[in-house]
Structure formats: structure tokens, C-alpha cells
Chains A and B, each alone.
Chain A
């Protein structure tokens, strides 16, 4: 706003003190203090707005923000009034120094004529969030650019280098030590030559120079300096660049839906992809499409909904209960139906449609029909969804994708949620003709992770009947059911098990009629409890409190209507990809901002966890102290899974992590127990994680697990810290937001390309680079040493037997290009075999190709070959020069060089000095397709 007029402005021009008008679905360009918001009801201004903070912390639900009461009282409800009044209010704002905490904000609002009012995070919209469900807000800019919280949280990208570089440095040290030893030995040799051979008496050698141990050592140093090839670093960089280009060209990592090919942003890490031990994955947008689909339902003991899911299919295959052709038929059906894409309802069962849409008949509807109607009416009423008018269209804005799916399902079956106005919910019933049903929502008993259910109490505006509608997780809902419906309960339970096996998320749908008196009595108590600050605080801390107690009182003796089954749409190919990563020996961690249940469900859906997994849950709720956490973890380490082949799994929540991650001696013990346990786990799920906690976890593993090579994959701004903290960061591109990609070293369009990236490209790259490095060392060691051995024949005088030009060309021309080409393109097994045998990847994790022993082996190979070449040339050429003379110096030299070039180049076709172990390993992995346990501590 400039001089009372709003002008369009780009975010770079926004300055502290500006007043911004931000419209619905716009990104917040700076940290702003709310001044006013659109008031849908002029008479009852509430000063509220919603934001979505997915780019900030990965949480997808809408968060409420409040205009400070000073403003909401003083400014009025319409835009004109708000602007006019605001202009009349002199005052200033005191705010904290810029910091990275997205959950806190401290400030003080000083407005003339009002007492100073504190500002908290609920009054502030942070840059990176998106305004939702609110037509507009007015905001006062308090932080811009680098001072905003999201930018404070984004650290400068650390410069990353491949671990191969680190190993090279170690190898260099080893080589230099060997070099020094050889030089000293040669100098000592010179000394002994003077005494043993008596070089002083060799009159033809006396040129006036004197023998000097130090100078001799230096001379040998220059002679042998080619040990460390000058071309090494340049060769590595060149090969990495070319490999990176090949990766970007790969059609196997090209996503045609989004028209995105893989991008390599840090070419120097292409080989690091071959030794990854831990994959840290974000959930939303990475593993899942963040779309929930209504797939199946069980109503009054009848299951509706046909077809199966990818997960169900995988399970069928695993169990092998169905003949192959049937599985294939199902698979084909899945592909056809996949066209449903991002619809919220993906339901295929004409039976249900028939029941609901059959023409109105005389007489009472059948029981089943009544149940179905009640079921979907329940779905249309029992939720906290609000309508949002955006670009002229009414859309539903749900705090979770589950609710959006359920409400959409109700609409699909003829019970359309129209509006929520003044606590009155309007539902349009289109099953038989069209009529509007109105319900007053009397109370909403909200969902908490402790209760794991939610209820609404509604009054039918026509019949004035009050009913409690309750939905929740089966584990908590089933005990609350009224007796005398055992048969129904059994059938529904069976259906829910079937649905769960398909990887669907089930909810139990129940209802209960309330009579007026009971409700009023309960309501009085409830009002009193919810206005008691003490009880509210207890409730917030999840301690026993009156509010929960009252809710529990009401939610009993429920009537079972049925259950729903939602599919949390995974990204394509995720379970198969993860299964392959597990077989490749890579531990997969899911780090998400979502709540525990969602995270666990996804882990199941991705086949990270299965029914046989020995799951340990560490949360603040069940382990309030560090000591109990440590004990539980240590206990977990010692117990063995009760079933053969069962794996261990860990679920940990953000609060527990916060306690765990603090530095301190006490924490160190618990951290150690945590790491010990996680190393035994096939899967670790961390939920309710803040972005910084994700990064902390990555760092914890990176620092403390020996040989760990970590990879973080994510798509949002909230994954940036994690991506930067890991050895290798991978961003999902082609979706919304580029922050993750910009911070990442590699960008791929789909999670499933991770398989291609690691198992095929990573494996090859690591092997290629290892061979390149060793080969360059090897060929130089061989060349240089062959000259060295010659010195045993010339009184260690430091003579060379070839001309300098041959020496240099050997390095740069004769032997370099073949190995470069091989390092760019070689593969030991076909790409197809790399994919179907992920076990091959374990060679990288075990550092099969690049380790101290391999290095020694290559150097020994060089030494052995140099000895062979030298002595063959020395003895093989005797009397074989022109006219039967003994060969002259340069003839031997030329022969040695030629032989060395031939041997070194032939060797490129068979580059591993010890193939026997590799072969054994291949056989082992071929015969044993079960995943090798990942047990390093």
C-alpha cells in the first residue's frame, strides 16, 4: 500500500513496515503481523484466517491465525473501514531478532490509546506459507528477505565431496610414504654402492661432483614423483562430468508425465550414489501423492467396492495364493483403473449405486438401504471441512486429505456437503430427487492423537432429534460399541482386515441417538469444563482431564454403521522401489511432519513395515523421560524377534526426538541406544518432525554410524535442511516448489527413480570411479617402479632408461584415454541385472571396490608387474641387440615402456586384480535372494 492505494508489487520490493494485502491462495512474501482479515460475517468479526505451511514444515493441514485483538476490536469488518481505521492508529511494533524457529514468535504491539499487547506466532504469517480459505488479509511486514524465518532456517549449502576423494587423500598419504621409503632406500643404495662397488675407483665416472645423501634422496623423489599422477584429479572430474551427462540423458529416469529428466547438480557425487547405506525420505509428496481416495466401504456388514490396490496385489504375489494369470488380470485391471488419477473417490461397485439410487418405492426402505443412507449422511456431517470460494468455484478445504476424501465420497453417493454457516451444516440429498437437509452442529469433539476418534453432535433441524456421530480408528472404536451387535461387529472386523491387507486406511463409522435431557445435562458439564482454563491446559498437555473424561462418557454404547477404507495414494512404484532398496542393503527411514498414525500407515503401505514387524514406538506419550526411552531402546536391542524372519521397526515422534537430540552426557547414552536399535531395524519412522529435527537425525547417523553414507530425498522447503545435511541430497522435481531441488545434488521426478539412480547408476559410477582411481595409481606405480628396479643395476645412480618424453607421454597419452573411456561407460553386469539383483548393490555398501585392501592389491599388482617387465627386459634382451650386442640403455627403456603400455592397456579389459572374491559374491547373491540383514553398529 502506497499512500493509501494498493499497488501490485514484486516481493523483492517489499520492505519492513509496508502493509500488504494478500489474497487467498497467495504465497506470503515476507513475515507479516496480521492487521486485519476478510470478515465473512460483518456483524460478528472474528479476525481469523487460515494458512497452509507445507513448504515450511511439511504439514498439510490448515492452521488458524488470529488478528491481534487490538486490531480486530479497533478496525472493523470491511476493507474500507479497516484501511481507514488503520491509517488513524499511530503506534509501533517491537519484534524479536530474526531467528529460525517457525513455532515461536515474540513481539510487542504498541498502539496509541491501547495497552501494549504481546504478539505470538498465531498473529504472524510466515514467508513460505500460503493463505487459504480467507479472501484477503492485511499484514504489516516485520521481516523480509534473509531475516525471514524460512530463510534463517535455510543454511548455506555445505560443499560436498565424494568419499572417494577422502579415500584418495588417504591413499596419497600411503603412496607418498611408500615414495619416501623408496627414495631413502635408493639413497642408502647409492651410499652402499660407493662402498661395495667402490665407485670412487671407477675413474671413468669422476666428473668432479660429490655424492650427497640428501641430494640423492631429492633426486630420487623427482624421479619417482610420477607415482602420484598429475592427471588424477582432472581425470576424476572429467569422468564425473561425463557420467553426470549420461545420467541426465537416461530415459529410465525421465518422467514423461511432468516432462522432467533427471538433473545432476553436483557431478562430484555421482560415485557416492553407489555406497548409500541410509535413505532418509520425506513422506508427503515424496512417498505419497498426498491424495486420499475413497476405495471401499463396509456398511451394515456388507462389503462394497471391488478391485484391489498395488499393495494388495503385492501381498497376493507374496503369498502366492493366486495363480499367475489371475494376478496378471488383476494387474491389468489396476492399470486401467489407474486412470482415475487424482480423483478423491475411486469406487467401483454398481451394487451400492443400485441400492441408493433406486426409485423411491412405496413403503419403508429396506434395512440395508436405510443403513447406507445413514452411513453416507454420517460422512457428510461428521467432519471439520469448510467450504472455500476460490476463483468463483466452491471447493472444500479440509485439514486432512482423509476428510476431503470422505466428504467427497458422501457427495459421490448423493449426500453433498453444501455449506457450513453459523454452525448449521447443509447437506444436499440427491439420491431421490433433490432436497436440502439441515443440521445444527451442537458440539465437535475434536480428533486428538490420544483419542484417535472424533465426534460431532448434531440436531436435525426438521425432526429436532439429536445424535452423536463418531468415527475413529478400529482399536479404540470397537470396545465402545453397544453390545448385541456381535455378528455385525465380526463381519465388519473381517472386512476391515481385508481392507487393511490392501493397504487401505480404515475408519469405523458409528452413531448414537441422544435424548434431549441427557444431552443438555452433559452439555452443561462440558461447557463448564471447556471454559476452565486449568482443564484446557491439562488437555493441551494430554494429561487426564475433565474434557476427555466427558467426551468418553458420551462416546459409549455406539451403534456400528460400518467402516470406510481409504487409499493413501502412493507415488507410482514406491513399494517396489523400497523393497529393492531393502534388498540392496539400504536402510530406509521415513521422516515426516505428519502424525504418528499416518506415518505408520504409509510405512505399511510402502512395505517398510509389515504385520510381522516387531514395532517399537517411542513417543513422549509413552516414554516421558529420557531414562525410560533408553531402557526401552536397550531392551529392544536385546530381544530377538519372536518369529523367524521377523524384522524390527521403530517409530519415534518429534517430541521424543527433541528430548533425545539435546546434547549432554545423559543424552549421549540414549542416543547410543537409539542408534544401536535403529541399526537393527529394517525401517525407522520418525513422525511429527520439524525440518531441523530431520536434519539432526541425518547428522546423528552420519556422524556416529561407521561407514554410513546418507541420502536424503524430499520435495519441499521443509526438506532442505535434511537434504543439505546428508552426504547426498536428492530433490523431487517437477512438482511444486523448487527449494528442495535447488538445495539438492540430484533431482529426479519420481521417488521410484531412486532405484535407477542408486542400483544402476550409483552402483556403476562407484565401481567405475574406483577402477579409475586405482588404475591411475596402478599404471603409474608400474611405470615408475620399473625405472626404479633398473637402478639396482646402475649403482642406484638414479639413471632413467627412457627419455623424458616417453615418460610423459606414457602418462598423458598412451595409457590415459582407454581408462577414461572405460570409466565413463563400463558396466560389469547389464542394467537389467542390476535392477533384478539389487543385492549387487551391497558390494558398494561393503566398499568392495574401494578399500584399503583393494588399494594395496592394486599397488601390489603394479609392483609385481613392474618387476616382471623390468626383469624380462633386462634378461630377455641380452645379446639380442643389433649384431648380437648387449642392449643399450634406451633399447631396454623402449622395450620396458612398450611392454608396460601393452600390459597396462590389456589390463583395462580385466580391471579387477582379484576377481575371485567378486565371483563368489555374485554366486552368493544369486543363490540367496533374501535381503541380507543390515547389521553394522
Chain B
């Protein structure tokens, strides 16, 4: 090796000979800078056996405990899932049991879980109009990017003529439009102990803060909820019935709309497009089986059997019956999933702060990697065989 090196040096010495251009005339000489000569400082990591073994060992010894801690912490999460109540519920409301075997410490989260529901289907995901959801005014059907459920009446239908509407008018628009909005999940849940004592569920501040603040607003022109069945009750409700009395005046201010009574669907009401269950639904799930937050429970749950009341529709305080959204009659069915083979369930769970629910993946991944690093640690190389 050194011989060759010296030969190289020799060749370089030999090259300085012959007819020489004087130094000052060598105008074509490339500049001898680190950049141009590619002599910038470099880091050339050499995977020597020592370095490799040390790296693997360190990684393994670091990851294994982290994984064990994560697995242990995740394991402390208490999660209770009900049966598929779509299979058992024939009435509205319907009651199912949740059996808590370990004490659950607040905050406790209550989810509904759907399966075989393709919220991630291309046709479904794209079928929404964000501008409309964000409360932009005067979005006529032609301005909407939805494919389905855009207008109350199709072009040329008898209904359109009867109502005396233009097809592409704000009267005819469906707000919010699209498949996602129109299939909004509308079962609701009440929790009580076996003895019948209600367990309060908070349904506020469950959606993303940015979604609530920026992306979902009732439109100022009163179009939100127009021709949209799921918001019928709110849109036709009286301002006097608003639970939050401070909102009654804004409600009254917004009530006079060219698009008919606005009801509670005015900007800032917290209902209609601003309803947090609606907002959560509109954030489409990535997988066909998913759980979405329904509410939070602020009290500890002792082990025992709890009753969940599943209902659909609007509770008529006078009759105690669950009515259709337009109060035209009793709502008989829950949210339909059995027709396409889907399931519904209620889940309550505690969480680990910062890590979420009961998913052992992260802990197992760390453990697996740690073990792999230690087991697959490269052995020291064999000495080269003489040739």
C-alpha cells in the first residue's frame, strides 16, 4: 500500500517539469479552494465492529426499559366495551349494560364505535363543502363541491315548481351538503348506575378546538340547516327555549332571515354546524372501524354494572317520547348500520395523559426493537482468512 502511495507521489513530482508556463500567466488554473477541490470537511462514519456493537447495545438497553414502562402504563388503562347494540336494540330508546370490573378514575371518556363503516371511502371523504361548514354566506348549489345531497329538489322536479324556487337558489340549497353531513351519526347516550342514578356526561369541548373555532360556523345568512333533516329540530326551535339565556338575544337578532326561521342555527349558538357531535363526525375516520368521542365523565366509576340508554331523535319533554327531528311523529329507529353489516357499540375508557387509549403497539414496538438490537447485535468479525 505505501509503495503504491509513494509511486503516486513520485508521479506527481515527475509532473513538475518540462516547458513551464510562468506562474503569473497561469490564468486557467482552477482556484484551490476547499469547495472547488471537494476538500470540505467531511464526516465519514466507519461502522467498526466496536462502534456497531456499542450502538446496537446502547439502543437495545435504552429501548427495552422505555418499552416496558410504556407497556405497563398502557396496561393500566381501563376500557369497557359494550356489545354490538345494533343487534339487540329494537326499540327507541334502548338499554344496554356496561360491566366495569375495575375502578375507573376520572376523567373517563365515552365513545361510540362503528365498524364496517367506510368513512374513508373516496366518494365519502370528498363529499363535503368546507366553505359552507365554515359559515360562508350565499353558497348556492352550483358553488358547492358536494356530489350528493346538494339540493332539496332536483332540477325540473314537481316540488321545485310547486315551491316556486329557482333550482340554483339559496331556498333549494342543502346546508350542510354532502354524504358526510347527511349521514351524521345521531344516536345519543345517557349513563346511569344499575340503581338508576344518572352519571353526568359532559358533551362540550369534545371536538378539536381549532375545528370549533375556525372550521365550523353557522352561516350569517341563515342558510345553515336549510333543507337538512338532522338539524330540523334546532332550526325550528324557539329562541326562548335556548338553555343558555345569554344567547337568546343574538338568536332573536338572527331570526329574521329570507330563508325562513333560523331557530338555533345562528352564528355562535353551538348548535347545528357548531354542534360538537356533528364536528366530530365531520372529521372522517381513517379506518373502517373507528371510535369517536361522545362525551366525558367527570366522576370515578366504581366496579359494577352500568346502564346505557341509547336513543335517537328529539326528546319531547311533555310526552317523554323521542320524536323525529321535525317533531312530526315518534322516532322509531336508531342509527341504521345493520343493513350493510355494520356494528355499533359504546365504549368507556380512561386515558394515559399524552398517550391516548389502550393501544399496546408503542410499548411492544419499543420492546421488540430493544430485544432485536440486543439479540441481533453483530458478532465480532472473523479474522480474515489468509489467501
A798 to B120 CA separation, bound complex (whole angstroms): 10
Q: Are A885 and B28 in contact (CB under 8 A)?
A: no
A927 touches B387 (CB 8 A): yes
| CA of A888 to CA of B290, assembled, Å | 9
- Tell me if A876 counts as interface (CB < 8 A to partner B): yes
State whether A797 and B123 are in contact (beta carbons under 8 Å apart), knowing that A203-B336, A888-B284 are contacts in the complex. Answer: yes
Question: How far is A248 from B120 in the complex, measured between Cα atoms in Å?
Answer: 55
Q: Does A201 contact B (CB under 8 A)?
A: yes
CB of A159 closer than 8 Å to a CB of B: no
A874-B287 contact given A250-B37, A338-B17, CB 8 Å threshold? yes
C-alpha gap A923/B381 in the complex (Å): 13
Report Cα–Cα, A861/B143, bound state, in Å: 45
**B88 / chain A contacts, CB cutoff of 8 Å:** none
Q: Kindly state the separation between the CA atoms of A878 and B357 in the bound complex, as whole angstroms.
A: 8
Contact B21 A256 (CB under 8 A): yes
User: How many angstroms between the C-alpha atoms of A927 and B384 in the bound complex?
Assistant: 9
- Give A572 to B15 CA distance when docked, in angstroms: 6
Among A510-563, those with CB < 8 Å from B are: none
Known: A876-B361, A876-B365, A923-B384. A260 touches B208 (CB 8 A): no
Could you say which of A206-214, A265-273, A849-857 contacts chain B?
A206-214
CB distance from B17 to the nearest CB of A (A): 5
Q: Are B148 and A206 in contact (CB under 8 A)?
A: yes
Contacts of B117 in A (CB 8 A): 202, 204
A261 and B28 within 8 A (CB): yes
A391 within 8 A of B: no
Give residues 24-45 of B contacting A (CB, 8 Å): 25-32, 36-38, 40, 45
Looking at A208, A576, A798, A799, which has the most chain B CB atoms within 10 Å of its CB? A799
Interface string of B226-265 (1 = CB under 8 A from A): 0000000000000000000000000000000000000000
Chain B residues contacting A206 (CB-CB under 8 Å) are 148, 179
Closest residue on chain A to residue B25 by CB atoms: A259
B40 shortest CB reach to chain A, Å:
8
CA distance in complex: A261, B21 (Å):
13
Give the interface size bracket for B toward A: 35 or more
Quick check: B29 and A261 within 8 Å, CB to CB? yes
Which candidate, B6-14, B55-63, B98-106, B215-223, is the interface stretch facing chain A? Answer: B6-14
Interface readout for B89-112 with A: 1 if CB under 8 Å, 0 if not?
A: 000000000000000000001010
Q: Which of A869-899 contact B (CB under 8 A)?
A: 872, 874-889, 891-893
B148 to chain A: which residues have CB within 8 Å? 206-208
Choose among B31, B286, B356 the residue that contacts A249 (Cβ–Cβ < 8 A): B31
**Does residue A360 face the partner (Cβ distance < 8 Å to B)?**
no
- The distance from the CB of A240 to the nearest CB of chain B, in whole angstroms, is 16
Q: Which residues of B contact A203 (CB under 8 A)?
A: 183, 336, 339-340
Given A835-B8, A880-B356, A892-B286: A207 in contact with B123 (beta carbons within 8 A): yes
- Residue of A876, A885, A892 near B293 (CB, 8 A) is A885
Size category of the A interface is 35 or more
CB contact list, B280-295 vs A, under 8 A: 280, 283-293
Given contacts A341-B19, A879-B359, A889-B125, contact A335 B31 (CB under 8 A): no
Q: Which residues of chain A come closer than 8 Å to B18, judged between CB atoms? A: 257, 338, 341-342, 572
Inter-subunit contact B123/A209 (CB<8 Å): yes
Chain B nearest CB, measured from A314 CB (Å): 9
Q: Given A205-B121, A886-B286, are A257 and B356 also a contact pair (CB < 8 Å)?
A: no
- Contact flag A889-B286 (CB < 8 Å), given A250-B30, A256-B20, A259-B28: yes
By the criterion CB–CB under 8 Å, are B124 and A254 in contact?
no
Q: Is A331 an interface residue (CB 8 A)?
A: yes
Instruction: Report B-chain residues with C-beta under 8 Å of the C-beta of A891.
Output: 286
Task: Kindly state whether residue A825 has any CB partner on chain B within 8 Å.
Answer: yes
Alpha-carbon distance between A801 and B25 when the two chains are bound, in angstroms? 63
Select from chain A the residue with minimum beta-carbon distance to B342.
Answer: A202
Nearest chain B CB to A371 CB, angstrom units: 35
Partner of A884 from B7, B27, B288, B349 at Cβ < 8 Å: B349
Given known A576-B11, A881-B356, contact A888–B285 (CB-CB < 8 A): yes
Q: Which residues of chain B have C-beta atoms less than 8 A from A889's C-beta?
A: 119-120, 125, 284-286
What is the 8 Å Cβ interface bit string for chain A, positions 896-928, against chain B (1 contact, 0 not)?
000000000000010000000000000100011
Within 8 A of B (CB), among A199-250: 199, 201-209, 246, 248-250
Whether B10 contacts A201 by the Cβ 8 Å rule is no
Q: Which residues of B contact A927 (CB under 8 A)?
A: 384, 387
Of all chain A residues, the one with the shortest Cβ separation from B183 is A204
B361 partner residues in chain A, CB cutoff 8 A: 875-876, 878
Complex Cα spacing A240 to B186, Å:
61
Please indicate the chain A residues that have their CB under 8 angstroms from the CB of B26 in the complex: 256, 259
Interface flag for B147 (CB, 8 Å): yes
Q: Is A339 an interface residue (CB 8 A)?
A: yes
Q: Which residue of A lies closest to B30 (CB)?
A: A249
In the complex with contacts A797-B122, A876-B361, A884-B111, A208-B349 CB distance below 8 A:
no
Q: How far is the CB of A160 from chain B (nearest CB, A)?
A: 25
CA distance A112 to B277 in the complex (A): 114
A310 and B17 alpha carbons, distance in the complex (Å) = 14
Between-chain CB contacts (< 8 Å), 7 pairs: A246-B38, A249-B37, A793-B286, A799-B122, A884-B111, A885-B291, A886-B287
Q: Give 5 nearest A-B pairs by CB, closest first.
A: A879-B357, A204-B183, A880-B356, A207-B148, A884-B357
Q: A799-B120, A877-B359, A885-B291 are in contact. List 7 more A-B contacts (CB 8 A).
A: A207-B147, A254-B28, A256-B21, A257-B17, A799-B125, A883-B296, A891-B286
Binding site for B on A (CB under 8 A): 197-199, 201-209, 246, 248-251, 254, 256-261, 310, 317, 331, 334-335, 338-339, 341-342, 572-573, 576, 750, 752, 793-795, 797-799, 801, 825, 827, 831-832, 835-836, 872, 874-889, 891-893, 909, 923, 927-928
